Structure 1
């Protein structure tokens, strides 16, 4: 079979056949044809929107802890917990969004809803931040009403991500026909290039917006994000005539109702198999068998999902504690130009941009020849490799932080919270680079795994499971930080997350995360060895 895939922009649509495509329609419910719909031409419209969405989201999240500890006056521990709670909510909301999309709205209309909420959310956060900083006394704390409005705008953005994230990638993948050899290969490749486009948005957001926010103004920084989303929304709508929309399910029950029936059927069949004397009608047995197999296909994903949570906990540190580490270091580049702490995060997406082409065009063909697997590695092997790298990254972060504390002690800076430790920001680059490479393996692997292994009508839920790994990981991180902060600051002691990082012990926390990552990696490898894929001809 021809497994070569186009290098990002090559059109994979075979225009020879003009028969209407089965099971899909355009936005008006009319038949669509391969030569005039779908493929890369349609997927790229969606990719532009998602690139802008990631640009805007990271334009807020990458430097949010700086805003919370600055204009809002939060402590380091409180700010880190707040960022983790918000990012956790933003990545858990796709579970609700997937339910609504797969049951009622459909992916296209869900994306339209998400874009509307994005514009409202970024517009609100712009107005609120400008109002907060409009006074002359920036040292005073803003009123509780303004803080409340700021958080309301943040969580409106989180709600928008809930409608967008489970549908964007699934909708782009829907533009390829899995029964067509070339389009099937492109559908597999899109997961790699999708994350590539995400990395572009993230890199631009971190490098540009962190500078704008800290040196020009928070209101201008947030306002530009609103403008970006308005433009991307218009571009997405421009691609509407080319989109392939799956024909809605004609059954009265929603996919989630069908899943519930499947779980009930699975329970009935288990009881029936145990009770051999019980009579079971043949036609009922066939229905129960089909529905129970669908339910089992979903339920068996959850142990794999649970063992990925430690990855989400490590991921949560990128925009919080890693960022605070960078603020204490020497960030001079040249001629007095100082790098914003959040800008150091750019090395993560840069490593993604460099590694995706290497993986897709060099490693996959080499691994394909070595393993006989058309994907190079199985999806779970890919995820496992990324989890191992995240363990390495947080271990490196612990070693670097221990070295930073040692230098602070050597130069007598332990009691000076605002001192710049004579240690270059370059020391932080390896942990960002390793996590960037880990993302190409684990994050893309999870996206494709949960999309591909979910029954077709529940694939938005499959992608929501991936996002919930990051969401629950963020919540776990927030809970750990809050609990450890209370325990270690008891009786007047220095917290691991003290506002003066020279008296804190982020290195201890990183070693704790490394231990959790090691335990979950072992459990993941145990489960992955016995996992049986659906669509196994393509995946094994």
Structure 2
């Protein structure tokens, strides 16, 4: 009799694995991660150089912009986790973030390819360099914002979505090992290979490669939809907290008549 709950649990897990989830989803997740990290890590690594060489931004200001972008990126996983767990689900957040990443990198490619979207070229460090116009800065900042949302929101939510495809801690551990191996491997390739293309051949070609990698990652992610196990959102955790807080306040005033009299006066 003691073994029956365990057997029922295992039967339910095997039925769940038979329908969706499992290792069949791993190639899609791995390809999505590779494409989006190739695109995301490359532009972030070389952002300071791009601002200085192509937008005539002073080195101090370029460093400040990059620091602000990096700080904002580190806050995005908190927001994406709340959206995934409470409202949209992990797959929806990954898909939306991938679209943002693609749009952002495409805009960056346009700024590198269309001369009217950046100031006239000049020698780095010269006092005669023309500053970017408001329109040029607006397009650049919009591209960076969209690409930043896609980079961080996707990265950690994709890890959670991938782990949810497995029922046992052992398989989840193996998945995380491969996940981080692929993640950092893609970062190394992007930071060395594609950044070299940007600095030595063309910024437009480098960003174009980022756009292609982001598009392929998004396409493969959508192709794997029918194999993924989609968890239902659990609702906002702050709703229950707010209700508990209101109930506690009501209880205080209910059991302390003096406080109730003070508030009514």
Which band: TM-score by shorter chain?
Answer: 0.7 to 0.9
The equivalent residue for 1:255 is: 237
* Residue equivalent to 1:171: 161
Deviation readout 1:413-471 (Å, 9 max, x if unpaired)? xxxxxxxxxxxxxxxxxxxxxxxxxxxxxxxxxxxxxxxxxxxxxxxxxxxxxxxxxxx
- How far apart are residue 94 of structure 1 and its match? 2.2
Task: After TM superposition, give the deviation of residue 36 of structure 1 in Å.
Answer: 4.7
Distance 1:144 1:41, change over 3 A: same
Q: Does residue 58 in structure 1 map to residue 41 in structure 2?
A: yes
Once the two structures are TM-superposed, the CA of residue 95 in structure 1 deviates from its matched residue by: 2.2
Match of 2:227 in 1: 242
Q: CA separation in 2, counterparts of 1:70 and 1:248?
A: 45
Give the SS at the match of 2:114: helix
Partners of 1:257 and 1:34 in 2: CA distance? 32
| 1:207-244 deviation line (CA, Å, top 9, x unaligned) | 11111101111111111111111111121122222211
Structure having greater relative contact order (Cα 8 Å, sep ≥ 6): 2
Alpha-carbon shift at residue 247 of structure 1 (Å):
3.3
Using the TM superposition, give the Cα deviation of residue 115 of structure 1 relative to its aligned residue in structure 2, in angstroms: 1.6
CA distance in 2, matches of 1:132, 1:90: 28
Q: Does 1:128 align with 2:118?
A: no
Task: Tell me what 2:94 maps to.
Answer: 111
Change (3 A) 1:256 1:189: farther
**Cα shift at 1:137:** 4.9
Alignment partners' CA distance in 2, 1:135 and 1:46: 36
1:84 aligns with 2:105: no
Q: Distance in 1 between matches of 2:230 and 2:213?
A: 26
- Once residues 53 and 209 of structure 1 are traced to their aligned partners in structure 2, the CA distance between those partners, rounded to angstroms, is 13
Provide the rounded CA distance (Å) in 2 between the counterparts of 1:155 and 1:120: 10
1:23-70 CA distance string (max 9 Å, x none): xxxxxxxxx632353223213322221222221111101111111121
Paired residues of 2:117 and 2:139 also in contact (CA < 8 A): no
Q: Which residue of 2 aligns with 1:414?
A: none
Give 1:538's aligned residue.
Answer: none
Q: Which whole-Å CA distance do the structure 1 matches of 2:134 and 2:81 have between them?
A: 34
Distance 1:111 1:136, change over 3 A: closer
In structure 2, distance between residues paired with 1:102 and 1:62: 30
The equivalent residue for 1:202 is: 187
The answer to whether 1:153 aligns with 2:135 is: no
RMSD, aligned CA: 3.0
The C-alpha deviation readout for 1:149-177, integer Å capped at 9, x for no partner, is: 11210011122235423421110111111
TM-score normalised to structure 2 length? 0.78
> SS in structure 2 opposite 1:74?
coil
Q: TM-score, normalised by structure 1?
A: 0.40
Matches within 5 A, 1:68-79: 68-79=51-62
